[in-house]
Amino acid sequence: MLVACKADNGVEHRETGEEMINNIISTLSLEEKVGQMTQINSVGPVNDDLRGMLQAGKLGSMLNEVDVKRINEIQRIAVEESPSGIPLLFARDVVHGFKTIFPIPPGLASTFNPELVKECSAAAAAEAWSSGINWNFGPMIDVVRDPRWGRIAESFGEDPYLVSAMGVATVEGFQGDDLAAENTLAASAKHFAGYGAAEGGRDYNTTLIPRRELHNIYLPPFEASVRAGVKTFMPGFNDLDGVPASGNSYLLQDILRGQWGFKGLVVSDWASIYEMINHGFAADSREAALRAFKAGVNIEMASSTYRDNIISLVKAGKIKESEIDRLVKQVLMLKYELGLFDNPYIPEKKQNVFADSATLMLAEKAAMQSVVLLKNNVLPLEKDSEIALTGPLAHQMYEQLGTWNFDGDSSLSVTPLMAMRELAGSDKINFAPGLRNSRSSDSKGFKKALNAAYNSDIIVFCAGEEAIITGEAHSRAYLDLPGAQNELIKELAATGKPIILAVLAGRPLTIGEISEYADAVLYAWHPGTMGGKAIAKIIYGDADPSAKLPVTFPVTEGQIPIYYNHKMTGRPVIEDEWVHINDIPEKAFQTSLGNTSHYIDAGFEPLYPFGFGLSYTTFEYSDLKISSPVISITDTLEICFVLRNTGKRSGTEVAQLYTRDIAASITRPVKELSGFKRVQLEPGESRKVEFLLPAANLGFHGIDLEYRIEEGEFKLWVGGDSNASLSTSFEIKNKL
Can you tell me the distance from the alpha carbon of 292 to that of 544, in angstroms, rounded to the nearest whole number?
50
Judged against a pLDDT cut of 50, whether residue 388 lies above it is answered with yes
Average pLDDT over every residue of 534-543:
98
How far apart CA 24 and CA 332 sit, in angstroms, is 9
**Cα-Cα-Cα-Cα dihedral sign, residues 342, 346, 350, 354:** positive
Instruction: Please check the confidence at residue 189 and state whether its pLDDT lies above 90.
Output: yes
pLDDT of residue 603: 85
Residue 5 clears pLDDT 60, i.e. is over it: no
What's the whole-number mean pLDDT along residues 80-100?
Answer: 98
Per residue in 190-201, pLDDT tens? 999 999 999 999
Q: Please state at what angle helix 220-227 crosses helix 160-175, rounded to 10 degrees.
A: 30
Q: What is the separation of C-alpha 41 from the centre of its chain, rounded to a whole number of angstroms? A: 24
* pLDDT (mean) for 546-559: 98
Question: What is the set of domains in the chain, with CATH numbers?
Answer: 31-350 (3.20.20.300), 361-539 (3.40.50.1700), 568-605 (no CATH), 619-733 (2.60.40.10)
Q: Cβ distance 419 to 426 under 8 Å?
A: no
Under DSSP, is residue 185 helix (H, G, I), strand (E, B) or coil? coil
Q: What is the mean pLDDT of the chain?
A: 96
- Across residues 317-328, what is the average pLDDT? 98
pLDDT per residue as tens digits for the range 63-73: 999 999 999 99
CB 328 within 8 A of CB 32: no
pLDDT in the model for residue 294: 98
pLDDT of 736:
73
The contacts of residue 632 (CB under 8 Å, 6+ apart) are 695, 732, 733, 734, 735, 736
Average pLDDT over residues 137-162: 98
d(CA 81, CA 215): 47
Mean pLDDT of the region 208-236: 98
Other CB atoms within a 10 A radius of the CB of residue 347 amount to 10
Q: Specify which residues 112 forms β-bridges with.
A: none
Q: Is the dihedral of CA 68, 74, 76, 79 positive or negative?
A: negative
User: Which of 146, 203, 239, 269 is flagged as catalytic?
Assistant: 269
Crossing angle for the helix pair 416-424 and 531-539, to the nearest 10 degrees: 50
pLDDT at 421 (0 to 100) = 98
Cα distance between residue 519 and residue 164, in whole Å: 35
Higher pLDDT, 2 or 93: 93
Nearest to 310 by CA among 34, 29, 27: 34
- % of the chain surpassing 70 pLDDT: 97
Q: Is the pLDDT of residue 577 over 80?
A: no
**Chain segment 713-728, per-residue pLDDT in tens:** 999 999 999 999 999 9
Mean pLDDT, residues 217-245 taken together: 98
442 is catalytic: no
Cα–Cα dist 306/285, whole Å: 9
pLDDT in tens, 664-677: 999 999 999 999 99
pLDDT band at 1 (very low <50, low <70, confident <90, very high): very low
| pLDDT tens per residue, range 408-425 | 999 999 999 999 999 999
State what percent of residues in the chain have pLDDT above 90: 92
Higher pLDDT, 463 or 577: 463
Q: What is the SS3 assignment for 25?
A: helix
What order of strands is seen across the sheet that includes strand 61-63?
135-136, 89-92, 61-63, 38-41, 300-301
| Rounded Cα distance, 406 and 293, in Å | 30
More confident residue, 402 or 585: 402
Q: Identify the pLDDT of residue 594.
A: 63
Residues contacting 715, CB < 8 A, separation 6+ = 659, 660, 662, 727, 728, 729
* Phi and psi angles of residue 707, each rounded to the nearest 5 degrees, phi first: -75, 130
| Residues 33/325, Cβ–Cβ less than 8 Å | yes
Q: How confident is the model at residue 3 (pLDDT cuts 50, 70, 90)?
A: very low
Instruction: Kindly tell me if the per-residue pLDDT of 204 is higher than 70.
Output: yes
The confidence score (pLDDT) of residue 6 equals 47
Give the separation between CA 728 and CA 628, rounded to whole angstroms: 11
Q: Are 527 and 370 in contact (CB under 8 A)?
A: yes
Mean pLDDT of 370-399: 98
Pairing of strands 707-708, 700-701: antiparallel
Q: Give every CB contact of residue 361 below 8 A, 6+ residues apart in sequence.
A: none
The C-alpha atoms of residue 454 and residue 436 are separated, in whole angstroms, by: 21
CA 278 to chain centre: 28
Q: Which residues contact 282 (CB under 8 A, 6 or more apart)?
A: 247, 276, 288, 291
700 forms bridges with which residues in the sheet? 708
Does residue 559 sit in helix, strand or coil? Answer: helix
Would you state the pLDDT for residue 734? Answer: 87
Please give the pLDDT value at position 576: 73
Task: Of 318, 179, 192, give the one whose Cα is nearest residue 251.
Answer: 192
